[in-house]
Chains A and B, each alone.
Chain A
Amino acid sequence: MSQPFRLDHGGRVDRDTPLQFTFDGRPIDAFRGDTVASALLANGVTLVGRSFKYHRPRGIVSAGAEDPNAFVQLGHGARTLPNRLGTVTAATLGLKVRHVNAWPNLEYDLMSAFGLVAPFIPAGFYYKTLMWPRRFWPLYEHVLRHAAGLGHAPTAADPDRYDHVHAHCDVLVVGAGPAGLAAAHAAVQSGARVLLVDEQSEAGGSLLSTDERVDGLPAPQWAATATAELAATPGVTVLPNTTAFGLYESNLVLLAERLRTDQPDDAGSESGARVWRVLPRQIVLATGAHERPLLFANNDRPGVMLAGAISTYVRRYAVAPGSRAVLFTNNDSAYRTALDLTDAGVPVAAIADVRTDTDGDLPSEARAQGIPIHAGAAVRRAHGRGRVAAAELCSLDGAPLGTVECDLLGVSGGFAPALHLHAQASGPTEWDPTLAAFAPRPGSGIHPAGAVAGELDLAATLRQGTQAGSAAAAAVGCSNGSEPEVPRATESTQAPIQPYWLPPGDLAGAKPQFVDLHEDVTLDDLRLSLREGYESIEHVKRYTTLGMGPDQGKLANPLATGVIAQLLGRDPASVGTPRHRPAYSPVSLGAIAGRHIGPLADPVRVTPMQDWHEAAGARFENVGQWRRAWYYPQPGESMHEAVARECLAVRHRVGILDYSTLGKIEITGPDAGEFLDRVYTNAWKRLRPGRCRYGLMLGEDGMIFDDGVTARLDDQRYLMFTSTSNAAPVLAWLEQWLQTEWPDLRVYLTSVSEHWSNIALAGPRSRDVLAAAGTDIPLAGRDFPFMTFREGHVAGVPTRVFRISFSGELSYEINVAADRARHVWESLVDAGRPLGITPYGTETMHVLRAEKGFIIVGQETDGSVTPSDVGLGRLLSRRKDFLGKRSLSRPDSVRPDRKQLVGLLTDDPAQVLPEGGHVVDDPGPQRPLPMRGHVTSSYVSPVLGRSIALAMVSGGRAALGERLYVATLHNDRWLPARSCHPVFYDPAGARQHA
């Protein structure tokens, strides 16, 4: 028997296109046009999940994005999508659908033992019970994780592609129901460029489930025609299957467009999506309203549904969600559902209406159909376990009115505008007493229309949509001079609703009454929260987890506002709602990431020698976005062995380093020298062209910001080297001072980091290598001394060669245009081969500079280190001002117990101190131990045949030679060391001057 609850006729489903998908492996017959939920209901499947905390059986509640229960897992493997709503997922051929929260399976759920042993876990349970004892946490966590399953992440990388689209339009219309379609038409008639989006696969919204007529046509037919007309109009884009999930400042709207929803893909899932970033000039908000649930005992039983959703399933999908219904309402709309059910041949056994006056048009029609109506009555309790079996009715003073058998219990507590987008961007809202809900007020560039604006009548909605559309178009200067035509529908009048939050008197004591079905938050939880003093709605939310599920509390929050107001005896307007936050409904991470994954997640920067390094077997490290050669192991060599070999090669022969990543900024103009004087601590104006100088740059707080060598290229031109990672920040820093403080200085800054590659030759034979590679630059010491540069050719290529050293050895840094760098590099390697030239990486570079006590900004310094702290006080000019100078005389900057740079030598030369290790005087029993400082750099020094370390130690410079201890990660294991001068090798600096 297939689809026993499918009605014989009617609906929007395409009966000529049957299809089959599976739910937990069981085949489900459906038609094209079905959602997963409508097909499940057509097949009599009501149980779709177990609840979050108590594992109570849960069924489909709604027919839209507000459903708290219908979360399912789609597809499997790499393409699987968790937490998709069956109520908005199109049923497609071969789709694999699974429940998300039951273990080991849906029908027999072990975890509901939770519900048997401890029937209800009060709010705050997690905080109160599970905080102690801590050693049980792993156990709790294991159990809770199993209990709190919300679907499964894919087990492999998603093979699908996702895209981002950037779009602009005059008017964005969110929602293609009656208000949205009318608004889009009016805006288009005025000549505006319109983007119309709707989360469903078919435009029309509530028009698809009503028997009313628009412009003389059946409403669904009018919707289809209107949509087709819009789609065919130039300048109009219609996006179905697209959820506007976030509205931000400047009215930026994010859309999630689900692609491939009606054709099966390999994995049978609906993955593949686009996120649109839209900057509309005006927005028409036509997002509709969500029907509110009502409280009674066991109001979570499968078979309890929103009345409007029942109408939708009957009219749009031709599905009877049950075979005998009871309705419970506080407004007229449920009577329409009663009539829809009667039309479809489903008997309505009773309507309980909390109002005493039930004489409106719709109630009268229902009464005329012979439907029993109980005025001033409520449902006290639903009976049945796996599904509703009966509704227990009573009068509002508690008098029993009998128990009515039913397998479908429709509820309507009125309608709450779906103002989420509006509220996300802090759009103004106000309490509307006729709706008993918050409604949006027009915001800047935002025009609410239809149910979201509190208008529930179709004719009035069409009118309001038309007005909103033309107002939005007019606001961007579009008008065709005539009033747009309003689509016509029959006006109807509805009697006012009567807010019904708490069941009165004793009824309120019946348990359990769920406020938030997804989060299993009960009326008792709200009471407990208020009793414990958490009265603000934001506190209630955090204490109870109200509205914190993936459904974002769409049904729960509007209900909770009224319930809390009544419990506190306050006006709901003053209670408010929890802050609405994006995303309106779950968006897959793949869509949010778009193409920004893998190599495109962050740019990878490489030097022109990258291929050479790879061919040479280099290991790489990431330095910011750069990939830098770290070391070059030979076959069978460990990192330690490779680095030792590279270090000794530089110290004894010659090494070659790709140092192209250094930041390079050309500073030109008549005032370039004056500018450098202001940003560097030392003096620059008198540096002669052709010479280089080491400079320190401070923040205005006096702390070291960057260091590096700057050369004077000619009278009005300098070339500044910055550390690799500070290239961009230094340029930004210089630009800011020039533009905001010193616009009078005639100075121009140009980043040339990528234009010039930089090859460092270091070691006693580096001069010989340079000569062997062929150069027209005189290399003799007196012609080309330390801290100068020369322009000339190397290996036939124009270069700028700097005689500077970061290793302490005789060294040349060869700047060459990037496109010729590989040639020069290879020429040097070839020329140096007979001399034993050795390529070395960043690790060896670090060891060599540490042996010389050279600091690295960001390693020895951390933003709290002054030049004097690292022994560079000699670079502070007394004769001029410079950025940060004034801070160096602040009392804190001259404390004698500031941390200062020292060397550390372990007692055992084989021990290598841990970088970051705390330095103390005496690891005695006292706790906490006073800390003297920390290790900043620590290496094995191959040339010294022992370990060395640099450290920042309080008052360390005045106490060189003192006994210190360094903490290790192992408790009570302390490494003894003595402090020393931080230059370990060639303290006189003779080698770099060779």
Chain B
Amino acid sequence: MLLIPCPWCGPREDDEFTFGGEADFPRPAEPEALTDEQWADYLFMRDNRRGRHREQWCHTAGCRRWFIVERDTVTNEILGAGTYGGSP
């Protein structure tokens, strides 16, 4: 069980949350300008880092806000949490 610190609700059990994969994969501003390879890169390729990992979580069964968690993928230790666009 992970205790996930929702920036709005505080630490809650992970079964209230939905995992949204790696953070920092913004949607390209002009998809049509991209090559197939570049688009596929955005669509399918993720870094799958060992260690510190910035990832998206949604407090689905709570405030329903998406936010960013930094987690160590080896120890599962949660190193911090932040919001999209600054403080809650």
**A interface, CB within 8 angstroms of B:** 248-250, 252, 279, 426, 444, 700-701, 732, 735-736, 739-741, 743, 881, 885-887, 890-891
Contact = CB atoms under 8 A, between A and B. Distances in A.
A252 B3 CA distance: 9
B2 A701 contact: no
17 contacts: A248-B1, A249-B1, A250-B1, A250-B3, A252-B1, A732-B58, A732-B60, A735-B64, A740-B84, A741-B26, A741-B27, A743-B84, A885-B31, A885-B32, A886-B39, A890-B39, A891-B36
Nearest to B75: A426
B31 A881 contact: yes
Nearest to A892: B36
B66 A735 contact: yes
A890 B76 contact: no
B51 interface: no
A813 to B, nearest CB: 28
A740 B3 contact: no
B85 A743 contact: yes
Nearest to A885: B31
A250 B36 CA distance: 42
A886 B76 contact: no
Contacts of B9: none
Contacts of A743: 84-85
Contacts of A736: 20, 58, 66
Interface string B73-86: 00111000000110
Given A248-B1, A740-B56, 19 more contacts: A249-B1, A249-B2, A249-B76, A250-B3, A252-B1, A279-B3, A700-B43, A732-B18, A732-B60, A736-B20, A739-B65, A739-B66, A741-B26, A741-B27, A881-B32, A886-B31, A886-B32, A886-B34, A890-B36
B4 to A, nearest CB: 9
B45 interface: no
Contacts of A881: 30-32
Interface string B45-67: 00000000000101010001110
A881 B30 CA distance: 8
Contacts of A252: 1, 3, 13
Interface in B12-34: 13, 18, 20, 26-27, 30-32, 34
A891 B40 CA distance: 11
A701 B40 CA distance: 9
Nearest to A248: B1
Residue of A444, A739, A886, A887 with most partner-chain B CB within 10 A:
A886
Contacts of B40: 890
A374 to B, nearest CB: 50
A887 B43 contact: yes
Contacts of B64: 735
Contacts of A885: 31-32
Contacts of B32: 881, 885-886
Nearest to B83: A739
Contacts of A700: 27, 43
Residue of B20, B30, B31 with most partner-chain A CB within 10 A:
B31
A751 to B, nearest CB: 10
Residue of A740, A887, A891 with most partner-chain B CB within 10 A:
A740
A632 B82 CA distance: 53
A962 to B, nearest CB: 32
Contacts of B3: 250, 252, 279
Nearest to A253: B1
B58 to A, nearest CB: 7
Contacts of B18: 732
A250 B75 CA distance: 10
B76 to A, nearest CB: 5
A736 B65 CA distance: 8
A890 B65 CA distance: 33
Nearest to A738: B66
B20 A739 contact: no
A345 B49 CA distance: 66
A890 B31 CA distance: 12
Nearest to B31: A886
Contacts of A444: 77
B57 to A, nearest CB: 11
Contacts of B58: 732, 735-736
**Top 7 A-B residue pairs of the complex, sorted by shortest distance between their CB atoms:** A886-B31, A250-B3, A252-B1, A739-B66, A248-B1, A249-B76, A886-B39
Contacts of B26: 741
Contact of A701 (B31, B43, B85): B43
A332 to B, nearest CB: 39
A886 B43 CA distance: 10
A731 to B, nearest CB: 9
B84 A739 contact: yes
B46 to A, nearest CB: 13
A886 B58 CA distance: 26
B15 to A, nearest CB: 11
Residue of A250, A426, A881 with most partner-chain B CB within 10 A:
A250
A650 B41 CA distance: 50
A583 to B, nearest CB: 15
B87 to A, nearest CB: 14
Contacts of A248: 1
A279 B12 CA distance: 11
Contacts of B36: 890-891
A581 to B, nearest CB: 15
A887 B38 CA distance: 11
Contacts of A740: 20, 56, 66, 84
A740 B26 CA distance: 9
B1 A887 contact: no
A732 B60 CA distance: 8
A679 B1 CA distance: 34
A759 to B, nearest CB: 30
A665 to B, nearest CB: 13
A418 to B, nearest CB: 22
B85 A250 contact: no
A885 B43 CA distance: 12
B43 to A, nearest CB: 6
A743 B20 CA distance: 17
Nearest to A728: B60
